[in-house]
Amino acid sequence: MMIDTKEDMIGKQNYFTKHLDKIIYHDYKHYGYYIFNPNDVLPKFISVQVSNPIPPEMLTNYDEVSNGDYQYLTETPFVTDEYVALAVGTGKYEEAAVASLKDGVIHFFPENNSHNYMPFPNAVFDEKFIYYLNDYNFYNTLTNDGFISVDVETEELLKRGGAVLLIYDMRL
C-alpha cells in the first residue's frame, strides 16, 4: 500500500497507532482506517460511517471542507478489543467520540455535560485509553461542566503546570 501524505491536506502528527501486535493506519482521504495484522497478507479496511461524509470530488478542496459541514476523521483512531476512539472533524471543529465494535455506533459526548467526557486519547495501554492532561484551564472548564474533579493535591499540581494521566476503562 502506498502512502502519499502530500495529498493529505489535513496533516497530523501520527498516521499510525498500535493495538497489540496490529498497526492502525489512517489518512484523510479514507472513510475509515486500515488494520495491518502480521498474520495477514493484506490490511483490513474498517469503514467509519459518519452522517455527512466529504464527497469524493471535494477531498482536495480544503476551503470547502474546512468551511463546510462535512464530517471526516481528523486523527488516526486508537483501538481496543471493544472500542475505537475517534476524532471527528466538522469544518474546523473537532470532537472526540467512541465507537463500540459490538454495534458499530459512534457515540459523541454531550456538549452540555462533561461528566462522562473523554478527550481524544494519546495512547492505548492494557486495553485502556490514556490521555495526558497538562492544562489546568482545560481541566477547570471541564469540571465546571460536570467532569469529575481530582483531589486537591492533584488539582494544585495542575495549577502549577504539572500533568496527570487520565485512564479510561470503557463501559458504554
Task: Pick the closest to residue 27 from 51, 49, 59 (CA basis).
Answer: 59
Say if CB 135 and CB 166 are below 8 A apart. Answer: no
Q: In which domain, by residue range, is 125 found?
A: 113-172
- Residue 85's alpha-carbon distances to 27, 42, 81, 149, in angstroms, are 15, 23, 11, 22
82 and 125 in a single domain? The answer is no
Joined grid coordinates for residue 99: 465507537
Residue type for position 23? I
Instruction: Report the predicted TM-score, pTM, of the whole model to 2 decimal places.
Output: 0.85
Query: Among 83, 108, 133, where does a domain finish?
Result: 108
39 and 99 in a single domain? The answer is yes
User: Would you tell me how many other CB atoms lie within 10 Å of the CB of residue 49?
Assistant: 12
Give me the torsion for CA of 90, 113, 132, 25, rounded to 10°. -30
97 and 163 in a single domain? The answer is no
pLDDT tens, per residue, the chain with 172 residues: 444 444 555 566 788 999 999 999 998 778 899 999 999 999 999 999 888 998 888 888 878 888 889 999 989 999 999 999 999 989 888 899 999 988 888 988 887 788 888 999 999 999 999 999 999 999 999 999 999 999 999 999 999 999 999 999 987 5
89 and 59 in a single domain? The answer is yes
Residues with Cβ within 8 Å of 58's Cβ and at least 6 positions away in sequence, in order, are: 64, 65, 68, 70
166 and 96 in a single domain? The answer is no
Residues with Cβ within 8 Å of 113's Cβ and at least 6 positions away in sequence, in order, are: 145, 146
133 and 104 in a single domain? The answer is no
**What's the domain count of the chain?**
2
73 and 104 in a single domain? The answer is yes
127 and 77 in a single domain? The answer is no
16 and 48 in a single domain? The answer is yes
90 and 124 in a single domain? The answer is no
Query: Among 53, 73, 108, where does a domain finish?
Result: 108
